[in-house]
Amino acid sequence: MRNVYVLGTGMIKFGRYPEKTVPELGAEAALIALKDAGVTIKDVEMFASGNLYQSNAMVGQRILQQVGQTGIPVINVANACATGSTAFREAYLSVASGMYDIAMAVGVEQMGKAGLLGGGAGGSDPAYSPEGKIGSGLMPAVFGQNGIEHMRKYGTKMEHFAKISVKSHKHATKNQFSQYQNEVSLEDVMNARMVAYPNTLYMCCPTGDGAAAAILVSEDKLKQFAGGRKRARVAASVLTSDPWTERDLTFPDVNTLTKRAAKQAYEKAGLGPEDIALTELHDCFATAELVHYENLYLCKEGEAGKFIDEGGGVHPSLGGKSPVNVSGGLLSKGHPLGATGVANICEVVWHVTQDERAKARQVPNAKAGLAHVIGLGSACTIHILTV
């Protein structure tokens, strides 16, 4: 497999754009990425498009109708919350394999105020639904149950989850692409409306609209187009799904597929958790972020609460260590499903290349970063990017 580099990235501010269409949102991010890369659509040889809500509507082709139709192959990807990152991986593999030299990935979603409620694997199939067995199959409850399990096993407190929300909202004040850029206090989070214990309103990600894009190239094309500019290398690209376990049918396991993906990614990159300067992980709910500290080996099993209490996950400029979701994460940035995976990768790329778009929140001496997304059902992507 060849080395693959991210030549350009593009992202629009996450929010709500009722006056625009999905292809228009995706095209806007694509054009920014093309300009950033210094190439045109005529240079792109393959296009991977990630979108969930219109997955049967040839979104990739419709984006190219906005950007430029050159007859290139288009892959449309739907993989739950990992949709965008899976599209990125398809573009990566197309270049790494040697089939193409320049590929583009776009993740886009238009959700408005739809809310992140839908269940995971199996839909309404009673064999897969926890409804009436251990609680609700709606997403706030599923991840609430995961948080409660951690509380039961390790003595984690509700305050630990709330501290994550406080941290992420503070981070978001430095991110111009975040849907919300407001700080919240610990009391605000703890006393907010309960959605699904222990997740209060501020511990749940907002939904909305968004798009992000990336241009991936081979080493030869990097030399041709980069002009000496620092560009990130994809050191690892991993996609996993759940192995069978006894708990899968009635209690979704959000841990195993991430742990397996993390081990593979660190091995492929030749790095360890201690080498990762920043992590953008899938914090659809505060409870999810906490368990993923352990799943990504940022701390030991059962010590996520201690990790938080000692400043783990907080930007170094705020006195923290091992920063997580310096973008504000999904809790502030928003979670337009198909866009999330590519957006997480963009954030990591900007830090390791010292891009102006992350200047206000730059993690010092960032040489490697990790982007992670899971989708229940299941899919987990992990990308490690280095310079």
pLDDT tens for each residue of the chain, 387 residues long: 999 999 999 999 999 999 999 999 999 999 999 999 999 999 999 999 999 999 999 999 999 999 999 999 999 999 999 999 999 999 999 999 999 999 999 999 999 877 655 554 445 566 666 666 667 778 888 899 999 999 999 999 999 999 999 999 999 999 999 999 999 999 999 999 999 999 999 999 998 999 999 999 999 999 999 988 899 999 999 999 998 877 665 667 889 999 999 999 999 999 999 999 999 999 999 999 999 999 999 999 999 999 999 999 999 999 999 999 999 999 999 999 999 999 999 999 999 999 999 999 999 999 999 999 999 889 999 999 999
Strands 194-196 and 199-200: antiparallel
Check residue 121 and give its pLDDT: 47
pTM: 0.94
Q: Report residue 49: phi and psi, to 5°.
A: -115, 130
CA distance 307 to 313: 8
The two tokens of residue 363 are: 């993690």
55 near 341, Cβ under 8 Å? no
Helices (H) and strands (E) in the chain, counts: 12, 11
Check residue 22 and give its pLDDT: 97
Of 150, 335, 351, 372, the active-site residue reads: 335
DSSP state of 255: S
Q: Report residue 38: phi and psi, to 5°.
A: 75, 30
CA distance 377 to 52: 14
Check residue 246 and give its pLDDT: 72
Q: Report residue 386: phi and psi, to 5°.
A: -135, 165
CA distance 276 to 343: 18
Locate the DSSP E strands across 45-132.
46-50, 74-77, 102-110
CA distance 297 to 300: 6
CA distance 178 to 184: 15
To which residue do tokens 């990504």 refer? 296
120 near 377, Cβ under 8 Å? yes
Question: Which of 350, 365, 375, 207 has its CA nearest to residue 280?
Answer: 350
Residue 18 burial by Cβ neighbours in a 10 Å radius (0-12, 13-18, 19+): exposed
What are the C-alpha distances in Å from 144 to residues 141, 184, 196, 224, 353?
Answer: 5, 20, 6, 49, 36
Q: Is 335 in the active site?
A: yes
The two tokens of residue 35 are: 């300009």
Residue type, 248: D
352 near 232, Cβ under 8 Å? yes
CA distance 105 to 48: 5
List the domains of the chain with CATH numbers: 4-115+206-386 (3.40.47.10)
CA distance 293 to 32: 32
The two tokens of residue 346 are: 């963009």
